[in-house]
């Protein structure tokens, strides 16, 4: 059996006051932490979860066709009855 490391994190939005006293940003800090974990536990599986404050522009911020009765791998996956267009307030760089 292989070890699994669950890494739960929160990354504050870009330009958040939380970054005023440090010289790095949340993504760089997360990368440093994950590289350290991979270095210390090279054979473990790593699962990253949490609030990453992703910038998605007009991409979906939900899982389409999500259904509690769905079993992964089925080919006849039912569609949701809604499709809400998204647009974040921030522009992508």
pLDDT digits (tens, 9 = 90+) for 12-25: 877 778 777 777 77
State how far the alpha carbon of 81 is from the alpha carbons of 29, 64, 65, 78, in Å: 39, 10, 8, 9
The tally of domains found in the chain comes to 1
| Residue pLDDT tens, the chain, 93 long | 889 999 999 888 777 787 777 777 788 888 999 999 999 999 999 999 998 877 777 777 666 666 666 666 656 655 556 666 666 655 555
For residue 35, what are the domain limits? 4-51
Q: Please check whether residue 40 lies inside any domain of the structure.
A: yes
What is the CA angle 18-20-23, rounded to 5?
105
Quick check: 78 and 37 in contact, CB under 8 A? no
Which ranges in 1-93 belong to alpha helices (H)? 26-40
Quick check: 93 and 63 in contact, CB under 8 A? no
**CB atoms closer than 10 angstroms to residue 51:** 11
Q: Please check whether residue 63 lies inside any domain of the structure.
A: no
């Amino acid at each position: 059996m292989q070890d699994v490391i669950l890494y739960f994190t929160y990354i504050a939005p870009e330009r958040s006051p939380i970054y005023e006293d440090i010289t790095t940003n949340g993504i760089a800090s997360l990368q440093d932490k994950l590289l350290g974990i991979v270095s210390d536990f090279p054979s473990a599986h790593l699962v990253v979860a949490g609030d990453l404050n992703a910038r998605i522009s007009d991409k979906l911020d939900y899982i389409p066709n999500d259904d509690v009765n769905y079993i992964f791998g089925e080919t006849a996956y039912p569609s949701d009855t809604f499709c809400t267009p998204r647009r974040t307030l921030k522009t992508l760089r």
